[in-house]
Chain A
Amino acid sequence: MKVDVKRLAKLARIRISEEQEVRYEQQMQDIIEMVEKLPPLESRDSLVDPDHPMTLRKDVPSAPYKRDDILKNAPQVQAGCVVVPKVIE
């Protein structure tokens, strides 16, 4: 199968240079050839694991984080907010 690496990269928001493209295409082709080796399987029932009922917490704030502590990891901060490029034209 031919793999359209450029399209995948676009979907994944990753930029691949021209010189990387050939290498990636070959590698992805090989990897997909490997993972294709699956036996024919019939869909029987749901894929949810019945042994693992997940329980959600009540939506109550608990972690005592301060805004300034969280913002310490932000790449660019101004007036207590994360700075991002213009989103709406």
Chain B
Amino acid sequence: MELYNQTAASLAKMLQNKECSSVEATQSVLDRIAAVEDTVGAFVTVTGEEALRRAKEIDDRRAAGEELPPLAGVPVAIKDNICTKDVKTTCSSKMLENFVPPYNATVMERLNREGTVMVGKLNMDEFAMGSSCETSYFKKTKNPHNPEYVPGGSSGGSAAAVAAGEAFVSLGSDTGGSIRLPASYCGVIGLKPTYGSVSRYGLVAFASSLDQIGPFGRCVADVAMTYSAICGHDPYDATSANRAYPQFTVGGAGDMKGKVIGIPKEYFGLGVSAEVHDRVMKAAELFEKNGAVLKEVSLPSTPYALSAYYIISSAEASSNLARFDGVKYGYRTPEFENLTDLYEKTRSEGFGDEVKRRILLGTFVLSSGYYDAYYKRAKLLQKQIQQEFSETFSSCDLLLTPTGTDTAFRLGEKESDPLSMYANDICTVTVNIAGLPAISVPCGNAANGLPVGMQLIAPKFEEQRLFTAAGCYEALTEQPLCPVASL
């Protein structure tokens, strides 16, 4: 078995036992990238040389007898909206095509401290706006399980790279489902952490009150380990929570005994396909057979969540993206007559269609005369959704829902229809609106051979409950949960 097929957890053990070196593991991943990248297209930038240099450094430190953290020497890949010092960070936009950050995001500082080896930067929907990875300025990433299908978005590159064996773990960001949806489409595990638990310093802002960085992996332990490495207070992010985090553990087969899993009925309407419904309920029954208690619950505001999400996220995006004006950094139009001309041409040429639509929507809902009818009402609904979740969690440990309404769709299928694209996020946006943690875990394949994902949702800062439940499910399934796609 090639090294790239290992999980991060099993590779970490091999590295500790000196059964292989980080240089070998890194080379294996780089060879895999060279072999499959033409088909998958997960990367915007591959940093092979630097990765091998870094891997050698970790190997040398280990050889010298240094005690290293668990992820030391493990090859990782990073979504291209997370700032990496001296490595291009494009947000898959023409606007930032040549942007080289002079600093690292806090999550990068933390991963570097852990000794991880970055192999490259991953493709995404432009500025994280999209659900298919098709709005990237550079290329369309393909689903490794069937390249005629999308990997999901916006963190499509992050999910596809892990699914294809091009990285052991990766980081993505999730504003309305951008980690969980691609994890579901690509058959890997993706965690959207509690808002405030992972620093956003150095994450290029889309909707600051909803954005959160999180990990992808091919087993629950990898996701728990990576989350453990990146969470924690950061004075550079004013919304970062100042609290202590426990040592996370992965659940086993018997660990859901007596736990109450809420099944919110609204999430199984919403246009969820019969197959997805069936797979998710099969997973629920498996939990029940092993001692969990299933309980039907109701979150009545769910059908309105998508409206509230697109209002709030677009409003914040229109404000956040005002900084891209061609003055201090990023793209600047080559010819202009005056300052206004410079702004307008730069932004019209530098942003793609979807980004422009969101900026226009955000401008609309914030403009005078419409603010109360849209933005304020959406913020009130946000409060109501938060209250409904917190009432539900008084009688449930976790909630179980589908991640997406269906499996991945074909490339191009929804590209020209923004509304049908937006509808993909219906099961995931509520979690961002309420600031909760949620994990997407594969729960079988549909008849078309593509993976189906289930979403587990926990109260704020209860990521441990997600690792317990997901670990339990992993232990109960006979097949490996996330096999590397054969390409």
Chain A positions within 8 Å of B, measured between CB atoms, are 3, 5, 8-9, 11-16, 24, 27-28, 30-32, 34-39, 41-44, 47, 49, 51-52, 54-57, 63, 65, 69-70, 72-76, 82, 84-87
Contacts and interface: CB of A to CB of B under 8 A. Distances in A.
A10 B147 CA distance: 40
Contacts of B307: 34-38
Contact of A75 (B100, B238, B326): B326
Given A34-B422, A39-B301, A27 B357 contact: yes
Contacts of B363: 8, 11-12
Q: Which of A5, A16, A32, A56 has the most CB of B within 10 A?
A: A32
Interface stretch (B8-16, B73-81, B115-123, B340-348): B340-348
Contacts of A11: 363, 367
Contacts of A34: 306-307, 310, 419, 422
For chain B, the bracket of interface size reads 35 or more
* Main secondary structure on B side of the interface with A: helix
A32 B314 CA distance: 12
Interface of B: 98-100, 102-103, 195-196, 235-236, 238-239, 241-242, 301, 303-304, 306-308, 310-311, 318, 322, 325-332, 336, 338-340, 342-345, 347-348, 351, 356-357, 359-361, 363-365, 367, 374, 376-384, 418-419, 422, 435, 460
Contacts of B318: 12
Nearest to B209: A49
**6 closest residue pairs by CB, A with B:** A75-B332, A73-B329, A41-B380, A15-B348, A69-B102, A54-B238
14 contacts: A11-B367, A12-B347, A13-B343, A14-B348, A14-B356, A34-B419, A35-B310, A42-B380, A47-B379, A49-B435, A55-B242, A73-B330, A75-B326, A82-B327
Contacts of A36: 307, 374
A38 B381 contact: yes
A9 B418 contact: no
Given A15-B345, A31-B310, A70-B102, A76 B332 contact: yes
A82 B342 CA distance: 14
Contacts of B235: 55, 57
Given A8-B364, A13-B343, A14-B348, A38 B378 contact: yes
B430 to A, nearest CB: 14
Contacts of A44: 380, 383
A41 B332 contact: no
Contact of B360 (A5, A73, A74): A5
Contact of B359 (A12, A37, A52): A12
B383 A47 contact: yes
A63 B201 CA distance: 13
A41 B384 contact: yes
A57 B238 CA distance: 8
A3 B365 CA distance: 11
